[in-house]
A and B are shown apart, each in its own frame.
Chain A
């Protein structure tokens, strides 16, 4: 299980970084989302992977419970990335309308040295 999750995290980061290096706005957004998910999965899995063990229990605790903290961290991170990604999309939409192009290479006028 750990191996699968690790490979999955690697896959998220790999494809995410690959997308970030592309020139289109859409791929930029996809890349940001993918590396964000990779990070979330990483944080989620550090608490130790336990199948079918809930973090929340009722009155009587079963012998093994999952660590609730990483789950809380991931939830917070998801909430934050929800806001950030929406803002990114709206910013890129605006930028795309202003530039009339979705090529990241067009964004080179502010760093002329």
Chain B
């Protein structure tokens, strides 16, 4: 167990960072909300496997719902610009490209918001499933 717990401490934050990179590059390159979400979910799985820290345990179950809920709200927000402006539904709209010192070219727009929504919902869904399986297996050992 110690191996898992010590490696989790290093790997989980790295995985989350990686997932954000995958999420961001997803519009034109391999990656995107779903794959990024799964990578982040892998980090969450590691944390769940390792045993959730006791001070978070109460919120862990709620966290999945909050993530799914906020993910879906974000999804809806990505539809709003196209609905408001009378363009075709779900039409991609981009902010003007800006150049930042470290990140380089930054391109923000509705597809990215859509991806973020998917990202959050996928993480939430995975945590939910992990919780269900966890609850199932722990009640089995109780019998």
Q: Which residues of A contact B (CB under 8 A)?
A: 56, 75, 79, 83, 86, 89-90, 93-94, 97
Contact = CB atoms under 8 A, between A and B. Distances in A.
10 contacts: A56-B28, A56-B30, A83-B125, A86-B129, A90-B133, A93-B133, A93-B136, A97-B136, A97-B139, A97-B140
The SS class assigned to the B binding surface is helix
Q: Which 3 A-B pairs have the closest CB atoms?
A: A86-B129, A93-B136, A90-B132
Name the interface size band of chain B.
10 to 19
B102 interface: no
Given A56-B30, A90-B129, A90-B133, 11 more contacts: A56-B28, A56-B29, A75-B34, A79-B34, A83-B125, A86-B129, A89-B133, A90-B136, A97-B136, A97-B139, A97-B140
B143 to A, nearest CB: 9
A75 B139 CA distance: 35
Contacts of A94: 136
A94 B140 CA distance: 11
